[in-house]
Structure 1
Amino acid sequence: MRDRIDELTHRELATLVRELLLIGQLVDRAGMPALLGEFGLDGMRDVAIEEWQAASPHYALRMKRALGISGDGVAEIFKGFQLDVGAPPEFMDFRYIVHDHDHGEFYLDHCGALMDVEPMGEELVKVMCHDIEDPTFPATAYATNPHAVVEAIHRPPRTPAGRTPHCHWAVSIDEDAPAAELPFPAAESASSLVNGIEFPAPTARPDDAGGELEDYSGPLLSDLHFPDFTRTALVRILREVYLQIHLLAIGFTQAVRRRSDSETSLRLATYQCTGIAGVATERIAAALGVVPADGLAGLARVLAVHPLLAPVHYTGASVDFDDDGGAVEIRWAADAPWWQDECWSAALDTGAAGPIEAAARGLDPRYRVDLGREGSAVIARLTLGSEEIAEGEEVAVTRISTGAAFEFGAVRTPLPLFPV
C-alpha cells in the first residue's frame, strides 16, 4: 500500500499540516448552507454541535497518542487545541495562559469564524459563539480530562464593536466534581472504523530529518512552528489531521440522518464533500506549487494528498497518471474501512461524480470525470477537455468563508508557556 503522505519532504509536510488544519475548519463551512436550507437556523445549529461532538473527543485522543502528549492538565488540553481542525493556526489565533495544572485561559486575537458570521447579524453570532461553542469546547477537553470545565469570560457579539480579543475563556479542572459523560454523538461515532486505524511507523530519512521535535511531550508552546518538528513527527501529525476531517464528515452525516433519513443525509453529505473538494484542491496545489500547466502529473500529485483520497490506510485510494493515455486514474479498493463508515464514501458508492469533479476542477476547470466500477473497486478516470466548466454552487458557497482565501503570515517565535 503506497502512502503518498510518507513520501513527502519535510518542507512539504510542514506546509501541508497548517493547510489541512484550515481545510478541516472549512469542512464545517461547506455543509452549513445546505443545513440552513434543509432544517433552518435551529437545525443547522444542532447538527453543527453534534458534528463536532462526534469527532473531537476521538481525534483529540488520537493526536495525543500520536505525539506523546501525556498528562491531564490544562496545558495538555491546550496542546490538543493547537493540533485541532477546529483551531487552525492564525485563522483562529488562539493565545494561552497557564496558571497551574488545573487552571488556565485562552483567548482569540483573531477568529476567522467570527469574521465569516459577524456580517450576517447578531443572531448568527450568538448561535456560533454561545450555542455551538458551549457544548463543543468541553467535548474536545473531554479527551484530556472529563473533569474539565470551559467557561466564557467574554465573547461576541462584540461590545464595543471591534473589541479585541474576539473572545476569552477560562478552563478549570475540578477532580471533585462528577466527570462529564461522553457526548452521545461521540458514543455513536465510536464504532466507526476510522477510530481503529493504526498507521505504520513513518519512513526515517536521515538526509531530510527536519527539525528536532520528535513529539510534543515537552512544555506547551505559545505557537507551533511546524518546521521545528522532524519529518517523521510531521507524517504522524498529518495522517491524524486527515482522520480529523473524516471524523467530521462522519459526525455531520450521522447528525443529519438522526433528524431526517438516509437519503437526506447522503444528499447533504455529498453537498458538503463537493464544496470542500474544490477549495481543498486550490489550497493544496498552491501549497505544493502545482499549477495547471503541470498537467496530469500535477493533478495526480495534488489528488494523492487530497482528503478524498488520503490517508490511504483509511480510504484505500491510489492515484496514477498516464501521459500517453491522457488521463489520471483513481482507484478505491472496495475493502477499505472508508466504505464501511457513514461518511463521504457513500456519495461515490452511488455514482455521484460531483466531489471528484470539484476536486479536479479546483486545479483546472476543463477536467472531466468518468466514475464507475471495475469489479468491486470504484474507479475515476479524469481527462482534460477543451472547454471550461462553470464552478458548482457547492464550491462557490464554501468560498464565501474568509478561510478559503486566507493567507498565512510570518510565524511567531514559539515560546514555552509555564504557570504564571
Structure 2
Amino acid sequence: MVSRYAALSRAELAVLVPELLLCGHLIDRSGMAHVLGALGREGMTGVAIDEWRLASPVYTRRMRRALGITGDGVDAIFKGFQLDIGAPPQFMDFRFSVQDHDHGEFHLARCGALADVEPMGEEYVVAMCHDIEDPTFDATALATNPHARVRPVHRPPRVPADREPVCAWTVTIDATFEPPAPADDALLVAGTRAACVELGDIDPEDAGLHDYSGPLLSDLRFEDFSRSALIRIADEVSLQHHLLTLGFRIAVDARTDAATAVDIAHKQFTGIAGLTSERLRKALRLGDDTAALVQVLRVHPVFNPAAYLDIQVSIDADGPVRIRIARDCGAIADGAWAALLDPDHLDPLNALVRGVNPCFYTRVRAADHDAVTFEIALAAMPFQEVPEVAITRFSTGAAFAFTDRGVPLPLTVL
C-alpha cells in the first residue's frame, strides 16, 4: 500500500519527521495526568514503566531493520536512541561518545522532560529519572544487544539545582551479563498488528542517504536522507505512536476497571490529537481552511501508516471534508486510537480538527459493519479548547522550536 507520506516533498518530510518524534514523546504528557488522577504517583510510574518497556524494544528492532542498522555495539544502540520518540531531537538533547564496541557514554545537555517535571517536586523527578529510566533505558538497549546495560553516572534531582549536563550515563556491553528472561507480557505488544505490519521498501537509487549503516552521527539532519527513506522513517515513527499507546492501554487496563481505562484512553487520545494537529499545521506552514485540514488529516500519526489504518479523506468542491475509516484494518483489530472513534465518542476527532481551526466540528455521516464515515463542518464561532488539550499544552514541548544545528559530525571511537 502506498504511504500517505508519499504526497510530501523531501523538504516537507525533513520538517515533518522531527515533529512526529516530538509529538510521540508528548503522548505521555497527554495521558499521564489522567493516570495520576486515577492511580496516584506510584500507579502512574508503573504505567510509564510498562508502556515503554513493552513498546520500545519492538519499534527499535523495526527501525533497525528499516534503516540497515546491523551492528550490535554501543554505536548501534545510540543510533536507535536518535530515532526514538523517547528521545526527540533537541528537545531531549542526547550527546554521545563512543570508546569502543562495548563502551560508550551519553549525557543530556537539555532535557525537556525534566523541565516539565521539576516544577512538580523531587518525588516526581525521582520517579521519572530513577524508577522509570532504569528499566526502560535497559529495555531499549537490550533490543540491540542482550548483554547491554545502561547505568547512571549522575542524574536528577540536580545538585546544585542548575547542574549541567542534567544527567550522564554509561552503556556497557559485557558477555558475562546474563540477559534477562523475556517478560511474561512481552507479546502483548510484540504480537500486535502494529508490530508486524510491513511497510514500503526504501529505494537505494533515490538521492540522499537511504540508510543509517554508516558511522554514528552527532545529530541526525533529516534533510540529508532521501525522500524514500524519509517516507519510511515517517511511517515507522507513526507506528511508534501506536505501539506506545497500545503499551499504555495494556498498562492502564491492568490497573483499573474497564470503564476507567477507556475513559483515560479517550482523554489521552483527545489531548495528543489536538496538540499534534496544531504543531503539524504550523510546521508545514499551512492555513486554517479545509485544504489545510485535508493535508493535516493525511499526515497525522493517528491515521498513519496507510498499511496499518485504512482511511479515505475526501472533499467535494463545495462540501465538507469526509473521513471514512474501514473497520477491517490492523489499527481497529489492535484497539488502537482509531478504534476509539465512534458516533458516541467524537471528542478526540473534534480536538484533532480544531488544531487546524477552532471552528471545525465533526459529526457522523454514516456507520455500518464495514466502516464509519465522519464529516467535518465549520461553525460560525470558535469552540473553547478542551481540558485534555490544555493539559497536554502544559509541556514545554508544546511550543518547542527546532533549530538548524549545522552539519553533524561522525562520532569515531576515542
Q: Same fold by TM-score, threshold 0.5 exceeded?
A: yes
CA contact (8 A) 2:275 2:392 kept: yes
Match of residue 332 from structure 2: 339
CA–CA distance in structure 2, aligned partners of residues 133 and 183 of structure 1:
17
C-alpha change, 1:139 and 1:419, in structure 2 (3 Å) is same
Q: 1:322 aligns with which of 294, 306, 316?
A: 316
CA–CA distance in structure 1, aligned partners of residues 251 and 185 of structure 2:
8
1:272 aligns with 2:242: no
CA–CA distance in structure 1, aligned partners of residues 299 and 276 of structure 2:
10
Query: Which deviates more, 255-264 or 301-310?
Result: 255-264
After superposition, give the CA deviation of every residue in 1:268-314 in whole Å (9 maximum; x if it has no partner): 1111110001100011001111121xx11110011111122111111
Match of residue 165 from structure 1: 165
Match of residue 229 from structure 2: 233
Matches within 5 A, 1:241-320: 241-292=237-288, 295-320=289-314
Count of residue pairs the alignment pairs up: 413
Matches within 5 A, 1:68-79: 68-79=68-79
CA–CA distance in structure 1, aligned partners of residues 212 and 182 of structure 2:
25
Matches within 5 A, 1:12-411: 12-201=12-201, 209-210=206-207, 212-292=208-288, 295-325=289-319, 327-349=320-342, 351-371=344-364, 372-411=366-405
CA–CA distance in structure 2, aligned partners of residues 98 and 231 of structure 1:
29
C-alpha change, 1:316 and 1:72, in structure 2 (3 Å) is same
CA contact (8 A) 1:74 1:171 kept: yes
Question: Counterpart of 2:92 in structure 1: which amino acid?
Answer: M
Tell me by how many angstroms 1:256 deviates: 0.5
C-alpha change, 1:192 and 1:180, in structure 2 (3 Å) is same
C-alpha change, 1:114 and 1:364, in structure 2 (3 Å) is same
CA contact (8 A) 1:112 1:403 kept: yes
Gaps of at least 5 residues in structure 1 are none
Gaps of at least 5 residues in structure 2 are none
CA–CA distance in structure 2, aligned partners of residues 140 and 42 of structure 1:
22
SS of residue in 2 equivalent to 1:314: coil
The normalised TM-score by structure 2 is 0.97
The normalised TM-score by structure 1 is 0.95
CA–CA distance in structure 1, aligned partners of residues 402 and 242 of structure 2:
24
After superposition, give the CA deviation of every residue in 1:343-380 in whole Å (9 maximum; x if it has no partner): 32331147311111000001111111013514520211
Tell me by how many angstroms 1:3 deviates: 2.9
CA contact (8 A) 1:223 1:412 kept: no
CA–CA distance in structure 1, aligned partners of residues 173 and 2 of structure 2:
43
CA–CA distance in structure 2, aligned partners of residues 281 and 22 of structure 1:
13
Coordinate RMSD, CA, aligned: 1.5
CA contact (8 A) 2:3 2:231 kept: no
